[in-house]
Amino acid sequence: MNFFKKIFSKQEVKGQTIVNDHFAMLNAIANGLACSPGDVSVRKTISFIQENLWYLTTSAVADSVDIISEKFSEIIPVLRDSKTGEFVREHPVLDLLARPNKDLTRQNFMFRYAAYYLINGNTFINGMGLVTQPPNEIDILRPTGMTFHGTSLLDKVSDYNYSAESFSIRYRINTEGQYLRYFSKSNTAELWHVKKFNPDESSTRAFGTSPMNAIQLEIEQFLAANKHNLGLLNNGARMSGILSTEGNLSKDQREFLKKQFNAFQTGSENAGRILFTEGGGGKVSYNELSQKNKDMDFKSLRTQNKLGIHGRYKVPLPLVSPDHMTMDNYSEARLALYDEAVIPMTNILYSELQNMLFPKYTDLKNSNLFLTYDEQTILPLKERSDTSIERKQKTGAFTINEIRNMFGAENIAGGEVLYQPVNLVPLGSGQTSHLDDDQKQLIKILRKSIE
């Protein structure tokens, strides 16, 4: 069988351990058999380790992941009633999220939650405590420590295995309830797997797909351009030239001359120095190879790849590139970051937390409450919302309570009355004590035009 088919093809499951693709790729690399960086026809997956390395070494990736994760971690989770729209800001589940465990604050926990999701396409939440009760604490496990067993049951994973430096635990499938859940043998720990879409998902390919899968070439070209420019800087910002002498040189003389030239004539700190030589080689001359500025400048390539990386993560350029930033577009870019990247991810990650935690709280299990956020606590969204509410209020087409609900405030007595200026009367009529059909129709039209 072709080597790459062995790595990437779907395996038949008969209870054996199925090791995730990133270990298979590492094994291939170790044996010198993995595909070349540019071979996109067979390069289908990248390892968790490689994804982490790219995050650590590629500024465009790190900037994108960090800015989204930081904004996500700043959002304060709340509960909201789906029927009344009212917020609930005090509940044991919110207390758990406010202090997930002894080591992490809410913001640190949420940053890790989002960062692993954006880097690896997978986040593993570990809940500690009896699985039939609310967890005592929750933590985020490193994806690089996770493997799994496949099963033919619903083409799902039968169990996950997590190993750290001096710690290992196995989570087995439990099919009771609304969702598949994975508990430890002692029923004192639960694993919840949050993952991005994987078009090849099966019981042997249970991991989500990292956003970096689609931009592998852009990342590698970005790093290659950086190395190229660094090499030019280290070599005096010039390509290699020809050093020649009139007479013949011995091997020792050639080595001496080469070392002397490299030591004193290359590198940015040696710019402008004069080379002095001695020996039996006669006159020494150096001819620089012809090179145009555009040939040695990889700035355009680096910029293009940087744009591709930020675009993959939906990060607006004014937030990460001074060249694209103006006073006019910065606020719009900040709002676009929430609309395109932060809020869609927040909805997904909060719903996963809800599915994991709510069944363990009796008062939440079948309630109308759901885990969400209050737009009024997120500054860019609040500014836009306030502008919209103010515009609606000025039309006179909404009651006081409707306006209050838009701000997340409770209703007040008498707030259902629709007030109009006393001089607003039907044309040709002196009536001011009530609204006629035309006025009511006008209000409907106004409300429909701005909603």
- For residues 237, 36, 119, 160, the Cα torsion angle rounded to the nearest 10 degrees is -150
pLDDT of 389 > 60? The answer is yes
Taking the whole predicted model, whether its pTM rises above 0.75 is answered as: no
Percent of the chain at pLDDT above 90? Answer: 41
With cut-offs at 50, 70 and 90, classify the pLDDT of residue 97.
very high
With cut-offs at 50, 70 and 90, classify the pLDDT of residue 49.
very high
pLDDT of 156 > 80? The answer is yes
**Dihedral pair phi/psi, residue 46, rounded to 5°:** -125, 155
pLDDT of 46 > 90? The answer is no
pLDDT of 82 > 70? The answer is yes
Mean pLDDT of 26-41: 42
Mean pLDDT of 418-422: 66
pLDDT of 68 > 90? The answer is yes
Give the tens place of pLDDT for each residue, 234-283: 665 555 566 667 677 777 877 887 777 777 666 545 555 555 555 555 56
Structural tokens at position 174: 């439990």
pLDDT of 71 > 90? The answer is yes
Percent of the chain at pLDDT above 70? Answer: 70
Q: How many Å is the Cα radius of gyration of the chain? A: 31
The distance from CA 104 to its chain's CA centroid, rounded to whole angstroms, is 20
What DSSP letter does each residue of 340-404 carry, written as one string?
A: IIIHHHHHHHHHHHHHHHGGGSHHHHTSSEEEEE-GGGSHHHHHHHHHHHHHHHHHT-S-HHHHH
- CB-based contact 400:415 (threshold 8 Å): yes
Contacts 24+ apart (CB under 8 A), 140-144: 140/109, 140/112, 140/113, 140/116, 141/191, 142/116, 143/48, 143/116, 143/207, 144/22, 144/48, 144/49, 144/52
Query: Which of 61-65, 178-182, 230-234 is least confident?
Result: 230-234
User: Domain boundaries in the chain?
Assistant: 3-218, 227-296, 376-451
pLDDT of 69 > 70? The answer is yes
Query: Residue with structure tokens 């001096």?
Result: 166
Mean pLDDT of 308-330: 86
pLDDT of 290 > 60? The answer is no
Structural tokens at position 339: 């609309």
Query: Which of 251-255, 290-294, 429-433 is least confident?
Result: 429-433
- CB-based contact 249:258 (threshold 8 Å): no
Quote the mean pLDDT of the chain.
79
